[in-house]
Amino acid sequence: MLTISLRVLGVCLWFASAVAAAVEDPAFKAGFAERDITPEIGMEAPGGYGKAYHRALHDPCKVRAAVFDDGQARAAVVGIDALFIRRPTVQAIRQEIQRQCGIAPEAVMIAASHSHAAGPMGFFLPGELDGASPLVKSLVYEKSVTANPEYLARVQREIVAAVVAADAGTRLGHTRTSSCRSTLFPCN
Ligand SMILES: [Zn+2]
């Protein structure tokens, strides 16, 4: 009888510890994916004062996506090699990500690395300021960087594809959080 009681007690203790572990360390999944968005030779290079064009490529431009899932919600964090990304582009990407894999638009963050060696995603689209004065049109179309619509569409597709692939490949993982205080360096 004593043996049976000890076994029952053991099972209860194991169950209690398993439940406690599950509460303390909830299931956490993460997935990662990347895609290539290297511009083509001859495309505009953004970020200078005036027109500049890619004459050589040093290394690839990438989309890198991470999707995190704590069992309650999913969030996507995306880094892109680009000078910037326009809000309408982000909004269109968020909608498409939601349509393809269900991640909420407000849970998708897209950050550009501020690369001057990336592709032409703005500042303006061809034809966007056709109604402006001749001076403004000249400044925008002839003196500034103008987006390449095909390249912009490709970047949109590849960001969506990277997030969908990262979401499909999520695996169980563990998290560790930390904090620090410094008056010298920014921390998060
Ligand atoms: Zn800059």
pLDDT band at 15 (very low <50, low <70, confident <90, very high): very low
Q: Give 53 Cα–ligand 1 centroid separation in angstroms.
A: 16
**pLDDT reported for residue 49:** 77
Q: Give the C-alpha separation, 131 to 137, whole Å.
A: 8
Token pair of 113 as six digits:
């690395």
47 CA from centroid of ligand 1 (Å): 6
Q: What is the pLDDT of residue 67?
A: 97
Please give the Cα distance from 140 to 143 (Å, whole number). Answer: 6
- What distance in angstroms lies between residue 129's CA and the mean position of ligand 1's atoms? 23
* Residues β-bridged to residue 69: 29, 74
Q: Answer yes or no: is pLDDT of 2 > 90.
A: no
What pLDDT shows up at residue 173?
A: 78
Instruction: Quote the pLDDT of residue 168.
Output: 96
pTM listed for this prediction: 0.79
pLDDT in tens, 108-153: 999 999 999 999 998 889 999 999 999 999 998 998 888 999 999 9
Question: Domains of the chain: which residue ranges?
Answer: 25-172
The pLDDT tens digits of the residues spanning 28-75 come to 999 999 999 999 999 999 987 788 999 998 899 999 999 999 999 999
User: Of 56, 39, 113, 43, which Cα lies nearest the Cα of 81?
Assistant: 113
Residue 52 and residue 157: Cα distance in Å, rounded?
Answer: 25
pLDDT at 19 over 50: no
Residue 122: predicted pLDDT: 87
